Amino acid sequence: MSSNARQDQSAKKSLDDYLAVLATERRLSTHTLKAYRRDIEKLIAFMDQRGVMLWQGLNSHNVRLFAASLNSKGLNSNSIKRILSSGRGLAKHLVSKGALKNNPFDDVRAPKGEKRLPKTLSVDQIVSLVELTLDDPLSYRDKAILELFYSSGLRLSELCGIDLNDLDLSESILRVTGKGSKQRDLPIGAQANKAIRDWLLQRNVLPIKDFDALFISKLGTRISTRNVQARVQYWAKRQGVEISVSPHMLRHSFASHVLESSGELRAVQELLGHSNISTTQIYTHLDFQHLAQVYDDAHPRAKTKKPK
């Protein structure tokens, strides 16, 4: 076996070992692990092109050259930052295994880029979006989806993963499983609560195949993320919302509107499930009763009596 072949095999084994650790200890999703792999394979390819030995030749100088090469390819600062973060994690793993003496990424920073505020909808646009004409089971389902996105600030994957037993409609509480398999309890606004109850009555009309899933497709299987994205875009156009709308925009709108009304930044961070992000670690955890009170006082569509 040639030295290059042995090096490629060694690099692949190091990467596979590191991803296995991430999957086991941090319980990252398959999608996230694939993103880590793509990022680190860029680093491996760059080192290979320069004829640098892996991993002994991985030093701060080469890491800076790697970052510069990413910038020259037109990647934005956020993408470069993410790729360097993936490499930093791998290097830390290699240090723990004795394959590196120190982490060469510690002294390298990605170029700073402009901070762009996420796009949001106004309250009037939200009202226009969710006031659907209900004439078939799928329209009831879609109204419940739209209301719940805005009601509780869910991620797309969180909404699609909701099971019936995650709901407590009598108490207006929803349990969701977020990133890293972390669970959190969220309040459900009165409008969303009613929309879900109406959908559950219509749900039985469809040929149910996935009995656990709250939201199912017209074929009766758990609704997919792509299906939800398409339905949100469909209704935005049909309801006359003049900008492109995504599930993530509804999440941002939820956060922006509650924060503007309440000023409770820590509560919004908890509601969004950002506890694993380093920039939110300074915030203390708030109990659910406090979160629910902030939500009820601030959310534009929560100020209605709960259905009996």
Full pLDDT tens readout for the chain, 308 residues:
445 555 567 778 888 888 998 888 888 888 999 999 999 999 988 888 888 877 778 888 888 888 888 877 878 888 888 999 998 998 899 899 888 888 988 888 766 665 555 678 889 999 999 999 999 999 999 999 999 999 999 999 999 999 999 999 999 999 998 888 888 999 999 999 999 999 999 999 999 999 999 999 999 999 999 999 999 999 999 999 988 999 999 988 888 787 767 766 667 667 777 654 333 332 223 345 555 666 777 777 776 554 44
Predicted pLDDT at 155: 92
Task: Provide the pLDDT for residue 254.
Answer: 86
The pLDDT score that the predictor gives to residue 168 is: 96
Q: What is residue 172's predicted lDDT score, i.e. its pLDDT? A: 95
Q: Which of the following is catalytic: 42, 251, 252, 301?
A: 251
Q: Which of 222, 248, 266, 306 is catalytic?
A: 248
Q: Is 248 a catalytic residue?
A: yes
Q: Which fold has domain 3-96?
A: DNA polymerase; domain 1 (1.10.150)
Q: What pLDDT score was predicted for residue 278?
A: 34
Point out the catalytic residue in the list 143, 179, 252, 299. 179
SS3 of the chain: the string is: CCHHHHHHHHHHHHHHHHHHHHHHHCCCCHHHHHHHHHHHHHHHHHHHHCCCCCCCCCCHHHHHHHHHHHHHCCCCHHHHHHHHHHHHHHHHHHHHCCCCCCCCCCCCCCCCCCCCCCCCCCHHHHHHHHCCCCCCHHHHHHHHHHHHHHHHCCCHHHHHCCEHHHEECCCCEEEEECHHHCEEEEECCHHHHHHHHHHHHHHCCCCCCCCCECCECCCCCECCHHHHHHHHHHHHHHCCCCCCCCHHHHHHHHHHHHHHHHCCHHHHHHHHCCCCCHHHCCCCCCCHHHHHHHHHHHCCCCCCCCCC
| pLDDT score at 214 | 98
Residues 81, 93, 141, 155: which is the catalytic one? 155
Active site residue 61: no
251 in catalytic set: yes
Domain ranges of the chain: 3-96, 123-298
185 and 151 Cβ atoms separated by less than 8 Å: no
- Per the annotation, the verdict on 155 as an active-site residue is yes
The answer to whether residue 93 is catalytic is no
pLDDT in the model for residue 294: 67
217 Cβ contact list (under 8 Å, min separation 6): 223, 224, 227
Q: What is the pLDDT of residue 100?
A: 86
Rounded Cα–Cα distance for residues 4 and 2 (Å): 5
Burial string for 22-34 (b: 16+ CB within 10 Å, else e) reads beeeeebeeebbe
Catalytic pick among 64, 82, 222, 283: 283
**Residue 29, pLDDT score:** 87
The yes-or-no answer on residue 13 being catalytic is no
What is the value of pTM for the model shown? Answer: 0.58
Beta bridge partners, 187, equal 173
Token pair recorded at residue 40: 């680190």
Q: Does domain 123-298 have CATH number 3.40.190.10?
A: no
Task: Please identify which of the residues 82, 222, 274, 306 carries the catalytic annotation.
Answer: 274
Which pLDDT belongs to residue 179?
A: 81
